Amino acid sequence: MGVQLLEGVTTAEHWSGSAELYREAKTVIPGGVSANIKYFAPYPIFMERAHGSRLYDVDGHEYVDYLLGYGSLILGHGHPKVVSAVMHQLLENGTPVFGAPHQIETEMACKLVQLFPSIEMVRFTNSGTEATLLAIRVAQAFTGKRKIAKFEGHYHGGYQPVLFSINPDLQLAGPPEQPSPVPESLGLSLHDAENTIILPFNNLDACETILRRHAADLAAVILEPVQGGFIPAEETFMHGLRQLTEELGILLIFDEVKTGFRVTLGGVQSVYGIRPDLTALGKVLGGGFPIGALGGRKEIMEIISPAGARDVFAVEHTHPTDGKPTTHQPSGTGKRQVLFHSGTYNGHPTILAAGLATIGVLESPGTMKRLLENTRFLRQQLETLYHKHGIPMQAVGMGSIFSLIISEKPIKNYRDVATSNTSLRKKLDHELLRLGVYTKPLNRYSMSVVHTKTDLDKTLEAHEEAIRRVMRS
């Protein structure tokens, strides 16, 4: 592990501190990481501190950060407005969490209703994964149907119905027009596979054939309207999918965990002019803290309301007069059934304070405009640079997220990315880490409002040098 040469110095020499910490972590944490996505070979880099657009690892190396907490940190690390909001909650309000309703929940919910065209009511969760899980449960309860449809290459979290065909082996994935559900984890059952229908992204005709075949059993279609945060849906595809799901009585769920606040403040749905039935949010919404939210049409969201409903924790007693023991009142007796959703930290006031501070900065005049302009500039300059060296790279993206795809063909879906030159991209990414540009190898680039011209110039210089090293080797 860590013996390959990079400009005359081994990986183990360059990141010796990370190597040692990884060896220690593996003894007490499976794989040495607390989330599988944080791992990359030969071992991940351990960070020590961060500020603004920069990360600093345990070996003293500095990086321009484009991972940014997988896109969460749109204001960069330690933004003063976020720090101030968090400290106010802790010091002035006296506690990190009340364990009871508080005004800031309503304030954030009102802000989301204001910004997102499709959202009429909101429930908070503790992660984007929880938000998509709740969306699926709500859709199943509302429609009375059990199956869901997801798209090949789309990621919605680490639980059974959606752990299929995220990064499938194309030899197992079936024909492009009718993808097969390929399990991405141990612990999945045949039942899970039978209840998850896989759809091809940006192929409306094929989707229509599949959805009409399964319409009677499908509760919802869930998708990332921008796959992986960087492959946009074609406009005709998106509008056709909305019309089709409405016709067939299938709820449409937008997973905007990555794209919420990164394309525009109202999400991708504002750009396309589409109103999904349910929307899952996360990442940027928490300002660097763990959060998720589900929003949607009032008539659907009301299924979660506990008002006038049976409480799963409340033991209701009858009061018999015949001397017999008191018994539990049967479920459904005198009270409506409800979709139970709870969590000690849902609507966490400290996190919502950080999130509102983040949105406040993004709403300030010119902020989003500058962010999107800087992103377009970097994408264009990178493409020009790679093409100068004869590398057919496309900086594919939307809003403030993009990824570098080395391919001459148009990139419309997972299979287009899977057949690109990922080997060359990975070699370049490892060199870029040595040159002080940070994202996980093969991952997307997320921009922040604190990336400066100096950062962008350093990034372009690093890419030029990485290309030189890789092409020379």
Nearest to 283 by CA among 321, 255, 317, 251: 255
**Alpha-carbon distance 211 to 198, whole Å?**
10
Radius of gyration of the chain (CA): 24
Residue 155 is among the residues annotated as catalytic for this protein: yes
- Cα 185 from chain centroid (whole Å): 19
Nearest to 63 by CA among 54, 76, 71, 75: 54
Active-site position among 155, 414, 438, 445: 155
Could you check whether the bond before residue 42 is cis, i.e. omega within 30 degrees of 0? Answer: yes
91: Cβ–Cβ under 8 A, 6 or more apart, which residues? none
Question: In sequence order, what are the beta bridge partners of 130?
Answer: none
**Alpha-carbon distance 173 to 187, whole Å?**
19
Question: In sequence order, what are the beta bridge partners of 164?
Answer: 183
382: left (phi over 0), alpha (psi -120 to 50) or beta: alpha
Please report the DSSP string for 232-277 in residue order: EPPHHHHHHHHHHHHHHT-EEEEE-TTTTTTSSTTHHHHHHT---S
Question: In sequence order, what are the beta bridge partners of 85?
Answer: none
**Alpha-carbon distance 112 to 280, whole Å?**
11
Q: How are the residues of the chain apportioned to helix, strand and coil, as percentages rounded to the nearest 5? A: 40, 15, 40
Residue 66 is among the residues annotated as catalytic for this protein: no
Q: Residue 211, Cβ neighbours under 10 Å: how many?
A: 20
Active-site position among 283, 412, 427, 458: 283
127: Cβ–Cβ under 8 A, 6 or more apart, which residues? 157, 282, 290, 291, 292
Residue 255 is among the residues annotated as catalytic for this protein: yes
Using alpha carbons only, what angle is made at residue 253 by residues 166 and 130, rounded to the nearest 5 degrees? Answer: 70
Q: Return the SS3 of 336.
A: strand
Using alpha carbons only, what angle is made at residue 282 by residues 276 and 287, rounded to the nearest 5 degrees? Answer: 140
Q: Measuring CA to CA, how many Å separate 440 from each of 45, 247, 429?
A: 9, 41, 8
Question: In sequence order, what are the beta bridge partners of 253?
Answer: 222, 278
366: Cβ–Cβ under 8 A, 6 or more apart, which residues? none
Tokens found for residue 172: 């197992």
Phi/psi for 404 (5° steps) reads -95, 110
Active-site position among 65, 192, 255, 429: 255
* Enzyme catalytic residues: 155, 255, 283
